[in-house]
Amino acid sequence: MTRKSALAVAATLSLVAPAALANPIDQIRPDAPELAAFGLFPIGVQTLRATIPDTIDVLNVDGKNVPRYDRPMTLEVWYPAALGTAQGGTYTANLRDGVTQVTLTGRAARDAAPAEDAQFPLIVISHGYPGNRYLMSHLGENLASKGYVTVSIDHTDSTYADQGAFGSTLLNRPLDQAFVVEHMATLEGPLGAIIDASSTGVIGYSMGGYGALIFGGAGVTQASTELSWGTPAGLLEQHVAMSDTHEALMDPRIKAIIAIGPWGNNAGFWDADGLAGLRVPTMLMAGGADDVSIYDAIRGIFDGAVGTERHLLTFDHANHNAAAPMPAPAESWEVSETTGSPTFDHYGDAVWDTTRMNNIAQHFATAFMDLHLKGDTDKAAFFDLVPNADDGVVALDDNDQETEDHTYWTGFAPRTAKGLHFETKQRDE
């Protein structure tokens, strides 16, 4: 970067909206790990509409009658914007009750001109069941500031506003993700011009993690296709491990997967053969007390995915909301007229501060995507960690430089990695 460009970037960053605005999704705590900080690129955001043509209408399957329809989809896209773009904007989002609308604030500028004369890797973000495209907006903005185009999906039949039968999510989640990769790869205009989909990552939470693992090669069991509460008419068979249809779903452009609290192994959707089929470098993030996807079942994915290198980051004592959801909007603290109770527990955790977990997720997602999508091998140091952060030793000389005895987690200031575990397994291990 030239000195002139650096000065322009500095001027842009000085225009960032103050953190005191309502429901911010962009806060970085003073004790955040090193790579959580926003990058040098100003951020733009656009809302796109897309349609998957002639796809199965799972909600209206009746016996052997399998209707088809054009499946609508709304996408929120964050991207590096032109230098000098003033930062700060708002989002209008539904709460978990599907009715209450709230205003979120962030750094992205609505419909800003994209950066010029550059291309950036693509990252697809996939929410849980139910959720919406703003649930992980903190990752969308943060990674865009570091030179990625991030696209977050409103999964039809799976949002707060249109939540339908679970069987639709089971079938469509990996198909939606695959469609969005191709849609963004062929997008025209100034935004399409900056996307390099040949290096694509997927970040999925809960059912988004389920979809990402299938998309990455972990085909499901035959038994999971026959569940009375699952996808009807045996339609899930197209994702069965080692089937031709599942193999056809694989996309060589997918270089990295982050699955946060992935659902599925707790309900028998994978066996040893299915997990061994995962072929994309994968990072799992999980709460050590997850009682939805079940922490031991998530560990089972980590242990069983012998076909690829993988990592497991554990937030001790956190439940299913570890790392992924944005901070609970202020309105979620109040009793919802629809549900008769607050919706806070859809976002918050009883033990961990959400912004703290978001910052840790941003740090590791940056390192993981930089390593696998940009080939930045220097980021490998952020994964060379003692498994239990509490076992890390802080050893500094008189000039506060690390000595050879220093083993505290790279990128974390002393005392700030407490409550975290990090494990790595290599392929065939």
Please check whether residue 422 lies inside any domain of the structure.
Answer: no
Handedness of CA 157, 160, 175, 222 (dihedral sign): negative
Residue type, 14: S
Q: Which residues of 266-277 are buried (b: 16+ CB within 10 A; e: fewer)?
A: bbebbbeebbbb
Classified as helix, coil or strand, 402 is: strand
The answer to whether the CB of 234 falls within 8 A of the CB of 225 is: yes
Q: Phi first, then psi: what are they for 103, rounded to 5°?
A: -105, 125
The answer to whether the CB of 159 falls within 8 A of the CB of 172 is: no
Classified as helix, coil or strand, 204 is: strand
* 72/66 Cα distance (integer angstroms): 18
Number of domains present in the structure of the chain: 1
* 346/25 Cα distance (integer angstroms): 16
- Name the residue with tokens 């999906």: 153
Show the CA angle centred on residue 321, arms to residues 217 and 178, nearest 5°.
30
Q: Which residues of 212-248 are buried (b: 16+ CB within 10 A; e: fewer)?
A: bbbbbbbbbbeebbebeebbbbebbbbbbbeeeebee
Q: What is the pLDDT of residues 271-324, one digit of tens each?
A: 999 999 999 999 999 999 999 999 999 999 999 999 999 999 999 999 999 999
Please check whether residue 280 lies inside any domain of the structure.
Answer: yes
* 31/203 Cα distance (integer angstroms): 24
Q: pLDDT at position 3, please? A: 38
The answer to whether the CB of 241 falls within 8 A of the CB of 276 is: no
Provide DSSP, 275-297: HHT--S-EEEEEETT-TTTTHHH
Q: pLDDT at position 64, please? A: 87
Q: pLDDT at position 4, please? A: 42
CB atoms within 10 A of CB 182: 12
- DSSP assigned state of 85: P
Q: Phi first, then psi: what are they for 179, rounded to 5°?
A: -60, -45
Please check whether residue 103 lies inside any domain of the structure.
Answer: yes
Please check whether residue 426 lies inside any domain of the structure.
Answer: no
* H/E run at residue 104: strand 101-106
The answer to whether the CB of 383 falls within 8 A of the CB of 426 is: no
Q: pLDDT at position 22, please? A: 83
Q: What is the pLDDT of residues 158-217, one digit of tens each?
A: 999 999 999 999 999 999 999 999 999 999 999 999 999 999 999 999 999 999 999 999
Q: Which two tokens stand for residue 372?
A: 């696998």
Classified as helix, coil or strand, 44 is: strand
The answer to whether the CB of 399 falls within 8 A of the CB of 393 is: no
- CATH classification of the domain holding 208: 3.40.50.1820
Please check whether residue 234 lies inside any domain of the structure.
Answer: yes
Please check whether residue 405 lies inside any domain of the structure.
Answer: no
Can you give the pLDDT of all 429 residues of the chain as single tens digits?
Answer: 443 444 344 444 434 433 445 899 999 999 999 999 999 999 999 999 999 999 999 999 998 899 999 999 999 999 999 999 999 999 999 999 999 999 999 999 999 999 999 999 999 999 999 999 999 999 999 999 999 999 999 999 999 999 999 999 999 999 999 999 999 999 999 999 999 999 999 999 999 999 999 999 999 999 999 999 999 999 999 999 999 999 999 999 999 999 999 999 999 999 999 999 999 999 999 999 999 999 999 999 999 999 999 999 999 999 999 999 999 999 999 999 999 999 999 999 999 999 999 999 999 999 999 999 999 999 999 999 999 999 999 999 999 889 999 999 999 999 999 999 999 999 999
Please check whether residue 69 lies inside any domain of the structure.
Answer: yes
Q: pLDDT at position 27, please? A: 97
* H/E run at residue 4: helix 3-13
CB atoms within 10 A of CB 195: 22
Please check whether residue 418 lies inside any domain of the structure.
Answer: no
| Number of separate helices (H) and strands (E) present in the chain | 9, 12
Q: Which two tokens stand for residue 60?
A: 């209206």
* 303/295 Cα distance (integer angstroms): 12
- DSSP assigned state of 253: T
Q: Which residues of 81-111 are buried (b: 16+ CB within 10 A; e: fewer)?
A: bbbebebbbebebbbbbbebebebbbbbbee
Domain that holds residue 245: 3-385
